[in-house]
Amino acid sequence: MSIVNNDAANPYAGLGFNTSAPGIAAAGDNSLDQQDFLMLLTTQLKNQDPLKPLDSTQFVSQLAQFSQVSGVQEMNTSLHALASSLKSSAVLDGAALVGRFVLLDGDTATLAADGSIVGGVTTPAGATSITVNVRNASGELVHSMQMAPTEGTTLFSWDGVQQDGTLAAPGSYRFNALASNGSRTEAATTMVADLVASVSIDPATYALQLNTASGGPVTLAEVRQVF
């Protein structure tokens, strides 16, 4: 027995079921869900030609594909919900950093009137002493301080007092560090502290951004220490 459809406006005509029933795609809708497919499969099996039976393996393969697509759609929905939840959680976690200082890689900081600058040096293995030099915008040495190294990061603070005891003018200052180990001296990586003024979420990546008072937005991956 063959199935003949002479109604071009209704692709389901002659298949023996009502197209207005749930699970059947509406007119003009080219989508086909798993329930639609099962109804078509059942109808075709009922009306197949006994002398030319349909290949059941094709239906099983197609049904498996529908199940896979359905599973992917459900997974996407779950991932979107998870992303929204993580976004909210990231904002709440980041809010706890507002008003805190973070240590970031860098060698330049701004000295405010009657203010100070806090920074750090990545301590090289085996270092016995660390010297931090402070230079003004013209490159002139205005202060030098020597510290005992601590494992990992050696913190320093400059209160704006120059080598001659006078207060340095507000403005931008550059730092460089030298680590000594006996008779050997090597350059060390410097970091400067900045205040977290606010937090936001990158709309493209959903990554948390820390908006610092002086250096602009940074990511958590750039933060070396929080205090």
**Domain limits of the chain?**
101-226
- Please tell me the pTM assigned to this model: 0.62
Q: Where are the alpha helices (DSSP H) in 105-212?
A: none
Per residue in 91-139, pLDDT (tens digit) is: 777 788 899 999 999 999 999 998 999 999 999 999 999 999 999 999 9
Tell me the pLDDT band of 216, cut-offs 50, 70 and 90. confident
CATH number of 101-226: 2.60.40.4070
How many whole angstroms from its chain centre is CA 82?
Answer: 14
| pLDDT for residue 17 is more than 50 | no
**How many angstroms separate the CA atoms of 100 and 212, rounded?**
10
CB 137 within 8 A of CB 172: yes
At residue 35, φ and ψ (nearest 5 deg) are -65, -40
At residue 8, φ and ψ (nearest 5 deg) are -65, -25
CB 133 within 8 A of CB 150: no
